Amino acid sequence: MDAMTTIITSAELGEALSGATPPVLLDVRWQLSLAKATGAPAFDGRAAFAGGHIPGAVFVDLDGELAAPPGASGRHPLPDLARFGATMRRAGVSPVRPVVVYDDGQGWAAARAWWMLRWAGHPDVRVLDGGLSSWEGELTTKTPDPARGDFVPAPGAVRLLDADGAAALARTGVLLDARAGERYRGEVEPVDRVGGHIPGAVSAPTTENVGPDGRLLPAAELRDRFKALGISGDTEVGVYCGSGVSGAHEVLALAVAGIPAALYVGSWSEWSADPARPVAVGADPQ
């Protein structure tokens, strides 16, 4: 992938918005809910959007519009394609207009939207590097009214893994686990049925792809990181996480480094829900 399909800076976005073909802007603010485990209130992305967003941006709800309801296929399975397409057209998405997605800075939700659109065949999607906190322009509370788009999903532009495919890739290539190390090792598991990891997967927390300023590390540093994890030029690479959200952010980081990678959308939430599937614990991939 090139720069036109990975990330964009705040300055570049400001310039693009004043150009002849401004990008469609999607606001995908979201946070992993630990309300059941901690009692903390759930994050309300729609309320955050109403409180201020980049002018012209349309809010997209990750839980309700970029995923199907939780179930046997995980906590954030692929959404119904017809509904996803309708959501994108409502937001003004067309195949001939670039799309920029952003969230509140962590990058996970924006990367999920980026991955969904790339998988569904959109040719020009980028993530605002550093999220809303990096935006140097004004914010607005005005409700947008975009012209209806005509994007129709055509899945398959990027590779998708299922559970069996992830298990096989852990043996034949490199399967990266994008979650925090303690969840990979099975020391804690705040969300899913059991802790641990897919046997053979390599721990690679996606938080380590980001610098202290909240932006992705430079491409050369990302390449060095992934090389140290066993990825060379011809390595087949897959990624999973808890439910296909932070894993999409790792796929984005890999893309910035010039490394194509498949995403296992069901991820640990699907894998661990099946007691018949093996679970590895500890720092050793096996």
Give the catalytic positions in this structure: 241
What are the structure tokens assigned to 126, written together? 């980028």
How many helices, marked H, and strands, marked E, lie in the chain? 11, 10
Residues in the chain: 286
> Which residues are CB-contacts of 11 (< 8 A; sequence separation ≥ 6)?
136
CA distance 268 to 75: 9
What are the structure tokens assigned to 118, written together? 């790339």
Return the closest-CA partner of residue 112 out of 66, 74, 163, 160.
66
CA angle centred on 72, ends 70 and 74, rounded to 5°: 50
Q: Which residue has the tokens 């925090």?
A: 180
CA distance 63 to 54: 21
Per-residue DSSP letters for 47-110? HHHHT-B-TT-EE--HHHHSSPPSBTTBSSPPPPHHHHHHHHHHTT--TTS-EEEE-SSS-HHH
Return the closest-CA partner of residue 97 out of 24, 148, 171.
24
Burial of 90 (0-12, 13-18, 19+ CB in 10 A): middle
CA distance 3 to 196: 35
Return the closest-CA partner of residue 7 out of 93, 136, 107.
107
Containing H/E element for 188? none
